């Protein structure tokens, strides 16, 4: 018998936590039955199953029902939870099924993070979601003291549970968990990703377009399945071929995409393996632009009319709530905002500006958030607000305006979109918008510009020349035509 565990949070000891319900502070997110069955059905049958945060028992019900349907007696099915009331619900739900399946059922009122020697063939579930900003300081100290690889930076409790599952599974066993897509790309989970891929096979299924948790879901779910001791590859769920762990490290910086099956997956793998396609960051630097760090500062420097200042510059994205709407379809449509780019005055108020020379033309302007990449060539020296990224030739490299114009074509192409959407689906948010961060763009493979003029070419011709530069086959081109018009989700 275990003593009743202490909840992860019974009160709310920080500002964000005071606006959060106690169940949410303990990470409670229950899983729809159909999704639980989908996860369980994707695994091979085995003898010992665990859900370390079983809640009302949806995953364990799926296991027991499968044992009944497949006539597999003798399973041991175990669930843990810190919520005694949830375990009571699970018990009433599962005991009749366990009897019908000829299985042993064990529901234990315990903290999954307490030490144990138990090991299981399969670990399934939907880990508790609890952001660092909503955790108590005591819980954060405990997790860091206990040496969890995932207890890094602004970590989330679900990442600790993913690592826990990898410790609880037997040699050759499998873990399958519902996780948010940000696990695939965030710096806080980089060590966890490296740990899993160094010890086995990771398969991913993006569920962002499936509507599993309804339209109000705050995260985009991914089914993460890990096979202990398998080939060190990253693949789509159910796929035979994936990306080698060395490719993930060298071409993706350790971040995880969702490498599809079929033509899209083949295109991705071929492009990543092609040595002639150099990462964008090898020849271009991508820079963050002008931010205002405190309320009221923007109004002190930005105006609708040209300021009476020797430092007056035209400002892109400077209007109130302007976002990135001034950039569309390869064109910049300046809306008329100005900035007094007085670097000394900005330093005096604790809001330093980048050196003004950063904004000299020519440069490429990229919208940071969009359904697909939007970029344009700036020849006029606009200052950019931080809703945009700035791309320019690296110091010592003279790429020239022609190469920058080519880069705009590439960034806005269908092939670039589908590659980026696979590799960085973990940045997706807000109804399908992708986050175009500098470090992600820098790792994208970019072809060299072709011979011939780049000016005055229509969009269809530009697209065809970009595809030729990537070596897109006729089959891949037909697939792009069918898929790239939809920003998200894209068909596999």
The residue with greater pLDDT, 227 or 294, is: 227
pLDDT at 217: 64
Helix extents (H) in 51-136: 58-70, 84-101
The pLDDT of 467-484, averaged and rounded, is 90
Q: Assign 459 a pLDDT band (cuts: 50, 70, 90).
A: confident
How is residue 208 annotated by DSSP?
A: T
CA torsion, points 416, 418, 419, 423, in degrees to nearest 10? 130
* φ and ψ at residue 140, rounded to 5 degrees: -60, -40
Instruction: Report how far apart, in Å, the C-alpha atoms of 318 and of each of 11, 267, 339, 385 are.
Output: 41, 39, 8, 6
**Tokens 């500098």 sit on residue:** 438
The mean-pLDDT minimum among 86-90, 299-303, 402-406 falls in 402-406
The residue with greater pLDDT, 38 or 211, is: 38
Q: Are 404 and 362 in contact (CB under 8 A)?
A: yes
Q: Which are the contacts of 211, defined by CB distance < 8 A and separation ≥ 6? A: none
| pLDDT tens, residue by residue, 289-308 | 999 988 889 999 999 999 99
Confidence check: pLDDT of 26 > 50: no
DSSP state letters, 297-321: HHHHHEESS--SSTTEEEEET-STT
The token pair that represents 61 in the structure block: 């019900």
290 DSSP β-pair partners: 385
Q: Assign 211 a pLDDT band (cuts: 50, 70, 90).
A: confident
pLDDT at 215: 63
The CB density around residue 23, as the number of other CB atoms within 10 Å, is 13
| pLDDT tens, residue by residue, 316-368 | 998 877 788 999 888 999 999 999 999 999 999 999 999 999 999 999 999 99
Cα distance between residue 27 and residue 134, in whole Å: 10
- Sign, Cα dihedral of 337, 338, 343, 344: negative
Q: Which are the contacts of 390, defined by CB distance < 8 A and separation ≥ 6? A: 286, 287, 288, 289, 358, 359, 363, 364, 365, 366, 384
| Per-chain mean pLDDT for the chain | 88
pLDDT at 485: 56
pLDDT at 2: 47
Q: Assign 18 a pLDDT band (cuts: 50, 70, 90).
A: very low
How is residue 399 annotated by DSSP?
A: -
pLDDT at 13: 43
The mean-pLDDT minimum among 128-137, 215-224, 444-453 falls in 215-224
The CB density around residue 64, as the number of other CB atoms within 10 Å, is 27
* φ and ψ at residue 60, rounded to 5 degrees: -70, -35
N- to C-terminal Cα distance for the chain?
Answer: 48
DSSP state letters, 355-390: PGGGGPSSEEEEESEESS--EEEE-S--EEBTTEEE
Confidence check: pLDDT of 79 > 50: yes
| pLDDT tens, residue by residue, 106-127 | 999 999 999 999 999 999 999 9
As a whole number of angstroms, the longest Cα–Cα distance in the chain is 84
Cα distance between residue 61 and residue 97, in whole Å: 7
Q: What is the pTM of this model?
A: 0.85
Q: Are 373 and 410 in contact (CB under 8 A)?
A: no
Task: For strands 369-370 and 434-435, give the pairing.
Answer: antiparallel
Grouping H, G, I as helix, E, B as strand and the rest as coil, residue 37 is helix
The mean-pLDDT minimum among 9-13, 85-89, 202-206, 410-414 falls in 9-13
| pLDDT tens, residue by residue, 172-205 | 999 999 999 999 999 999 999 999 999 999 999 9
Highest mean pLDDT (candidates 224-228, 394-398, 402-406) = 224-228
What's the half-sphere exposure (Cβ side, CA atoms, 13 Å) at 25?
Answer: 22
Q: Which are the contacts of 289, defined by CB distance < 8 A and separation ≥ 6? A: 354, 358, 383, 384, 385, 386, 388, 389, 390
pLDDT at 253: 87
The residue with greater pLDDT, 251 or 192, is: 192
Cα distance between residue 211 and residue 192, in whole Å: 27
The pLDDT of 232-253, averaged and rounded, is 90
């Amino acid at each position: 018998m275990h003593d009743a565990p202490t909840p992860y949070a019974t009160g709310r000891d920080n500002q964000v936590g005071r606006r959060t319900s106690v169940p949410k502070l303990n990470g409670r997110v229950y899983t729809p039955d159909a999704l639980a069955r989908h996860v369980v059905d994707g695994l091979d049958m085995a003898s010992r199953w665990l859900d370390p945060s079983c809640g009302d028992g949806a995953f364990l019900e799926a296991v027991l029902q499968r044992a009944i349907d497949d006539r597999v007696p003798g399973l041991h099915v175990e669930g843990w939870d810190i919520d005694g009331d949830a375990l009571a619900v699970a018990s009433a739900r599962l005991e009749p099924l366990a009897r019908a399946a000829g299985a042993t059922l064990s529901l234990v009122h315990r903290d999954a993070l307490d030490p144990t020697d138990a090991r299981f063939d399969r670990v399934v579930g939907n880990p508790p979601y609890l952001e660092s900003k909503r955790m108590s300081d005591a819980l954060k100290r405990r997790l860091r003291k206990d040496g969890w690889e995932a207890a890094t930076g602004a970590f989330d409790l679900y990442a600790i549970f993913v690592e826990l599952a990898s410790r609880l599974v037997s040699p050759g066993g499998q873990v399958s968990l519902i996780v948010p897509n940000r696990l695939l790309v965030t710096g806080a989970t980089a060590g966890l990703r490296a740990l899993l891929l160094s010890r086995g096979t990771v398969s991913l299924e993006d569920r962002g377009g499936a509507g599993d948790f309804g339209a109000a879901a705050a995260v985009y779910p991914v089914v993460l399945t890990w096979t202990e001791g398998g080939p060190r590859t990253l693949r789509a769920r159910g796929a035979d071929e994936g990306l080698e762990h060395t490719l993930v490290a060298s071409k993706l910086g350790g971040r995880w995409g969702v490498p599809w099956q079929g033509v899209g997956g083949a295109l991705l793998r071929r492009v990543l393996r092609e040595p002639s396609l150099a990462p964008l960051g090898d020849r271009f630097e991508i820079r963050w632009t002008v931010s205002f760090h405190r309320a009221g500062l923007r109004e002190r420097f930005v105006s609708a009319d040209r300021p009476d200042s020797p430092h007056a510059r035209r400002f892109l994205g400077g209007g109130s709530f302007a976002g990135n709407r001034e950039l569309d379809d390869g064109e910049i449509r300046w809306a008329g905002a100005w900035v007094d780019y007085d670097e000394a005055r900005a330093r005096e108020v604790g809001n330093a500006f980048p050196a003004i020379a950063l904004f000299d033309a020519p440069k490429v302007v990229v919208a940071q958030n969009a359904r697909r990449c939007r970029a344009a060539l700036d020849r006029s020296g606009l200052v950019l607000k931080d809703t945009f990224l700035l791309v320019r030739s690296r110091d010592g490299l003279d790429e020239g305006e022609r190469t920058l114009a080519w880069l705009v074509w590439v960034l806005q192409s269908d092939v670039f979109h589908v590659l980026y959407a696979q590799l960085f689906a973990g940045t997706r948010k807000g109804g399908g918008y992708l986050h175009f961060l500098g470090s992600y763009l820098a790792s994208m493979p970019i072809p060299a510009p072709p011979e011939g003029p780049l000016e005055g070419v229509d969009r269809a011709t530009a697209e065809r020349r970009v595809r030729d530069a990537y070596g897109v086959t006729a089959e891949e081109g037909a697939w792009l035509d069918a898929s790239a018009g939809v920003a998200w989700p894209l068909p596999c």
